[in-house]
Chains A and B, each alone.
Chain A
Amino acid sequence: DTEVTQTPKHLVMGMTNKKSLKCEQHMGHRAMYWYKQKAKKPPELMFVYSYEKLSINESVPSRFSPECPNSSLLNLHLHALQPEDSALYLCASSQDRGRFEQYFGPGTRLTVT
């Protein structure tokens, strides 16, 4: 199974809402990633988890809170977002942190109203 799954596919939330994005992989990968992608732009790295520990935070605002409950799951908790946070949020995994062949999920299309 070389699939990374993400839920939900689409999410609309208000600026005062709290929501979570979920990502799952069963490839035994030990590194997992969150990326943000705006329309017609490349994905931009937000967070890296390695062996369930936060390894890289690309100076992401605290209204985005990642969590890695176990080696297969990665969450992104959202609170008090701004309309400019509307984007496609992609999750990816790789065998370990030093590997650049990453497997991406289809993403969650987030709209903040």
Chain B
Amino acid sequence: GESVGLHLPTLSVQEGDNSIINCAYSNSASDYFIWYKQESGKGPQFIIDIRSNMDKRQGQRVTVLLNKTVKHLSLQIAATQPGDSAVYFCAPITGGGNKLTFGTGTQLKVEL
């Protein structure tokens, strides 16, 4: 979710499986959502975005689903690879917002 916690939620998946990373947001006025990936020792990297007038958007091996009713979005990674191991952050943006505010983050670990 968006709140900052002391511990980073962790998702462990087997290589080749699909991964689903969840993000809950609190502001119903949020109308644009971004996912970033941060690998160990690197800065965050933009993955995919979605606007609130959509409920699904697909990229290369990634799909983002948005459920505005329950204020939830998810990032699905198909055929997870070792290179997908990283911390994934969602960032809900409110209309007219002028800054990027990252959610807590989820650590994805890919087991061989």
* Inter-chain contact B42/A106, CB cutoff 8 Å: yes
* Inter-chain contact A102/B98, CB cutoff 8 Å: no
Known: A40-B8, A100-B32, A106-B41. A45 touches B46 (CB 8 A): no
Within 8 A of B (CB), among A35-73: 40-45, 48, 55-56, 58
How many A residues touch B, CB cutoff 8 Å?
23
* Inter-chain contact A101/B102, CB cutoff 8 Å: no
* Inter-chain contact B102/A42, CB cutoff 8 Å: yes
* Inter-chain contact B102/A43, CB cutoff 8 Å: yes
State in angstroms the CA–CA spacing of A105 and B44 once bound together: 8
* Inter-chain contact B7/A40, CB cutoff 8 Å: yes
* Inter-chain contact B8/A101, CB cutoff 8 Å: no
Say how far B73's CB is from chain A's closest CB, in angstroms. Answer: 15
State in angstroms the CA–CA spacing of A4 and B89 once bound together: 20
Residues of A within 8 Å of B100, CB to CB, are 45, 100, 102
Say how far A36's CB is from chain B's closest CB, in angstroms. Answer: 12
* Inter-chain contact A106/B43, CB cutoff 8 Å: yes
Interface of B with A (CB < 8 Å)? Answer: 4, 6-8, 32, 34, 41-46, 49, 89, 91, 93, 98-105
Interface of A with B (CB < 8 Å)? Answer: 4, 40-45, 48, 55-56, 58, 90, 92, 97-98, 100-107
25 contacts between A and B (CB under 8 A): A40-B7, A42-B4, A42-B102, A43-B102, A45-B99, A48-B98, A48-B99, A56-B98, A58-B99, A90-B43, A90-B44, A97-B98, A98-B98, A100-B34, A100-B91, A100-B93, A101-B49, A102-B44, A102-B46, A102-B100, A104-B43, A106-B41, A106-B42, A107-B42, A107-B43
